[in-house]
Amino acid sequence: GGEVDVRGVYCVLVVASLLNIMTAELVSGVAEFVARCQTCEGGLGPYPGVEAHGGYTLCALAALEIIGSTHVLDLKRLARWMSARQMAFEGGFSGRTNKLVDGCYSYWVGGAFSILQRALSRTPQDDLLYERRALQRYVLACCQDTRIGGLRDKPGKSADLYHTMYGLLGLSLAQHYVGVDPQTRISDTTSVYSVPARMMQWDVVSSAADVVGVSSNVVKPVHPVYGVSLVPLAKCIKYFYALPPLAPSL
C-alpha cells in the first residue's frame, strides 16, 4: 500500500551509495524504470504516465547520476523542459508547466541543472543552462521573510523550514559552479558502480563563482546530488568505503 515512485528510488540510492551497501540486485531495473518516467514534455514524473514535475525530475536525475546512467534519458528534451521552468519576470522556477514560481524549486530544478550539466558534458565555460543571477535575486529579494526570518515560497507566504532548506540549497548552487571535468575518467573499480569516485569528483570551480550582492550573501557550496556540503560528504564516503563492502564489485 506504499508509494512507488522516483522519490523512493532516489532515497534508497542515496542511502546505499553513502553507506557502501550498493548491490547489483538493488539497482536492477532502476535505469529502465526512471527512463519510462520521462514525459512527452521532457521532464520526469513520479512514475510512468504522470505529469512532469520539478521535484521528481531532480530525484530521477540524481538517482541516475549515482549509478552512472543519465544517458538513458532524452537529455536535450529534458534541458528544454527545465529551461522553461525559469520565470522571465520573477527569475525563480516553477515546478510544472503553467504553474507559479515557488522558492523550493530553486533546488529541485536548479540542482537538476547542475546534474544535467555533467550529463551533457558541458564545462564551466559553457555555464549552466539557466540565469544564475536572476535566481539569486529571487531568493534574496522575494523569498526572505524579514518579519520572522527564514525563506518562503513567494511574497505573501510565511517562511518555513522546508522552503528555507531548499531555497538555501538553490542559492548555493546558483552562486557556486559545482561540477565535474568532462575529461575526468572514472578510475575507481573497487566498489559497485564506482560510487565514491563518481561522487567525489564533484568540486567547486572557484573561477566560475557568480554572487549577487554583498559577500555576506554567500553560502557554502553543496553537492547537487546529495544536497549537503562537500567536506562532510567526503568524510562520510571515506569512512564507510573504508569498511568491508557488503557485496563484491560489479
Catalytic entry in 10, 105, 193, 241: 105
Q: Active site includes 203? A: no
Question: Can you tell me the mean pLDDT for 155-173?
Answer: 97
Lookup: cell for 129? 543552462
How far is Cα 191 from Cα 57, in angstroms, rounded to an integer? 27
Q: Active site includes 153? A: yes
Lowest mean pLDDT among 136-140, 156-160, 244-248: 244-248
Give me the amino acid identity at 109: V
What integer best gives the mean pLDDT of the chain? 91
Catalytic entry in 59, 104, 142, 143: 104
Kind and range of the H or E run holding 178? strand 177-179
Q: Which residue has the higher pLDDT, 248 or 195?
A: 195
Q: Active site includes 188? A: no
* pLDDT tens digit sequence for 77-95: 999 999 999 999 999 999 9
Catalytic entry in 10, 59, 85, 102: 102
Q: Active site includes 96? A: yes
Which of 42, 164, 33 is CA-nearest to residue 103? 164
Please state the pTM of the whole predicted model.
0.93
pLDDT at 193: 53
Q: Active site includes 160? A: yes
- Confirm if 104 and 150 have CB atoms less than 8 A apart: no
Place of cell 564551466: 124
Lookup: cell for 151? 525563506
Work out the angle at residue 125's Cα, subtended by the Cα atoms of residues 175 and 80, and round it to the nearest 5 degrees.
Answer: 80
Catalytic entry in 5, 160, 188, 203: 160
Lowest mean pLDDT among 2-11, 67-76, 139-148, 170-179: 2-11
- Confirm if 62 and 119 have CB atoms less than 8 A apart: no
Catalytic entry in 96, 132, 152, 223: 96
Lookup: cell for 210? 557568480
Q: Active site includes 210? A: no
How far is Cα 192 from Cα 80, in angstroms, rounded to an integer? 32
- Residue 125, burial from CB neighbour count under 10 angstroms (0-12, 13-18, 19+): exposed
pLDDT at 24: 86
pLDDT at 183: 74
pLDDT at 1: 55
Q: Given the DSSP bridges, would you call strands 203-205 and 177-179 parallel, antiparallel or unpaired? A: antiparallel
Q: Active site includes 223? A: no
Q: Active site includes 104? A: yes
Question: Can you tell me the mean pLDDT for 143-167?
Answer: 95
Catalytic entry in 99, 133, 137, 157: 99
pLDDT at 192 over 60: no
Catalytic entry in 153, 176, 193, 241: 153
Torsions phi, psi for 88 (to 5 deg): -65, -35
Place of cell 522546508: 162
Question: Can you tell me the mean pLDDT for 166-190?
Answer: 83
Segments in the chain forming alpha helices (H): 6-19, 24-27, 30-36, 54-66, 75-83, 105-108, 110-119, 132-137, 161-175, 195-200, 230-241
Q: Active site includes 130? A: no
- Confirm if 126 and 179 have CB atoms less than 8 A apart: no
Count other C-beta atoms under 10 Å from residue 148's C-beta: 9
